[in-house]
Structure 1
């Protein structure tokens, strides 16, 4: 477990996963073991969305890739590559064509091994600033590698009056619950406020959109995404790809309000 502290802000990261972010003792992050989800955050890369109805195949310029829901990055382990006073840097590296074991097999998936035909290095950087937390994703990939990126953090809810403010739109927890497993799309926006006992402003750079998901009333996932996967059928998921220009950065910031 790695920890950072600055003034009244603190965070804890376990194997690259943000398991705590607090201000003056108030916890913003969903705690593993509580109802809702077994994780507290993860990444969706190099795709977002399910693939089972397409035979777990995603069309890419090099043929087809074998991927399960939300890609194979989450099946790989982070290594801590740097820790300084206010920053933690975690890293994953993938060599094109390397089979990655699917943890969902056989209980929740028919695909035992996942394979992607491109090499990349993926960094996740946490920096604790004076009044907020910066989470930066750095993707160093082969030129023209197709990819989508989504960040999937889960936030703790402590009141039954929680809501999400997105521009002029106010979204109730009931609306998010009603969207079910598809998640609720919040398109073309880079800032959201999660209103709860303590408000949290969530900003993003490079993503372009958000989606919201939960199946319980004590937690909500506010997810910056580069593409909303349910805009197309699974066989057309490749329509949501962007293409690597080499090294690209995406950023999410959490501001306690």
Structure 2
């Protein structure tokens, strides 16, 4: 296999990871939340991206693979309490909005790019913990791996949750089939647990549901219109799998989360990292022709 990494100085510096043998190509934009903006295999785009919105740095990205940290989902009134003090933290946290730094790259056994994000005055105002994140994107054949390391540089225990919000490109939602490792989900606006029988009502304006009692660490979506099967695998760190889409949009979001929304308040599946400790997790996506 022939791996390469190049940099395209667009509006934002874009790192292009390539596997020339598999004709697989990944675009990573460190300045724009460390995001994977594009992934194409043999000329087929795997991800959806709102390109117009992407050019506006004041707007969150809608597309690609946004990073969720230090929370997943939203908080009531976007606030939480820590040691008696109220903090404001917007939906999905701040990692997806901040510039990341490239700290390593390699083309030996795969195309690999490592990015880092560290706490700063801006993050400390909304999340009073010092931290460093190190994410390594690995492209090999039709596989994409995201290795994560979360490091607590505070002198106190650091609570957080983490996840990803991939936007997968879909042309016809009626031609999709899903294998999700749970028999029930909870809708965002309800506490009711709804039985899941493998299908969704795509006539609804929005579908936003969370699967919790996962029976295995993988899920798949088969797109019969495009002739592709997408499989996600994740480490045991992830307890929640969120499915989200909007009517009339060309994407389906399949989101591995380490904890459900508002975990920083409820403590449900919350990761609490000791001072000086680090925590590692990984997710993998692969695409196969059908």
- TM class by shorter chain equals 0.7 to 0.9
Judging changes above 3 Å, is the alpha-carbon distance between structure 1 residues 38 and 21 closer, same or farther for their aligned structure 2 residues? same
Residue 137 of structure 2 corresponds to 126
Residue 105 of structure 1 corresponds to none
Residue 69 of structure 1 corresponds to 91
Residue 122 of structure 2 corresponds to 99
Secondary structure of the corresponding residue to residue 146 of structure 1: strand
Residues 179-201 of structure 1: per-residue CA shift (max 9 Å, x gap) = 64xx2112224211011121110
Residue 5 of structure 2 corresponds to none
1:46-57 correspondence runs (5 A): 46-53=70-77, 56-57=78-79
Residue 208 of structure 1 corresponds to 239
Q: Which one of 27, 32, 47 corresponds to residue 29 of structure 1?
A: 47
Structure with larger RCO (C-alpha < 8 A, sep 6+): 1
The Cα shift of 1:252 comes to 1.1
Judging changes above 3 Å, is the alpha-carbon distance between structure 1 residues 176 and 47 closer, same or farther for their aligned structure 2 residues? farther
For structure 2, which runs of at least 5 residues remain unmatched after alignment? Answer: 1-13, 54-60, 184-196
Secondary structure of the corresponding residue to residue 246 of structure 2: coil
Residue 221 of structure 1 corresponds to 253
Q: Which one of 90, 94, 109 corresponds to residue 115 of structure 2?
A: 90
Task: Output the TM-score relative to the length of structure 2.
Answer: 0.72
For the Cα contact (< 8 Å) 1:88–1:125, is it kept in 2? yes
Residues 222-250 of structure 1: per-residue CA shift (max 9 Å, x gap) = 100011217x8xx9445452201411111
For the Cα contact (< 8 Å) 2:180–2:219, is it kept in 1? yes
Judging changes above 3 Å, is the alpha-carbon distance between structure 1 residues 176 and 225 closer, same or farther for their aligned structure 2 residues? farther
Secondary structure of the corresponding residue to residue 99 of structure 1: helix
The Cα shift of 1:150 comes to 1.6
For structure 1, which runs of at least 5 residues remain unmatched after alignment? Answer: 101-112
Does 1:164 pair with 2:178? yes
Judging changes above 3 Å, is the alpha-carbon distance between structure 1 residues 45 and 39 closer, same or farther for their aligned structure 2 residues? same
Greater Cα radius of gyration, structure 1 or 2: 2
The Cα shift of 1:146 comes to 0.4
Secondary structure of the corresponding residue to residue 96 of structure 2: helix
Counterpart CA distance in 2 for 1:83 and 1:174 is 43
The Cα shift of 1:208 comes to 2.3
The Cα shift of 1:129 comes to 2.3
Secondary structure of the corresponding residue to residue 74 of structure 1: helix
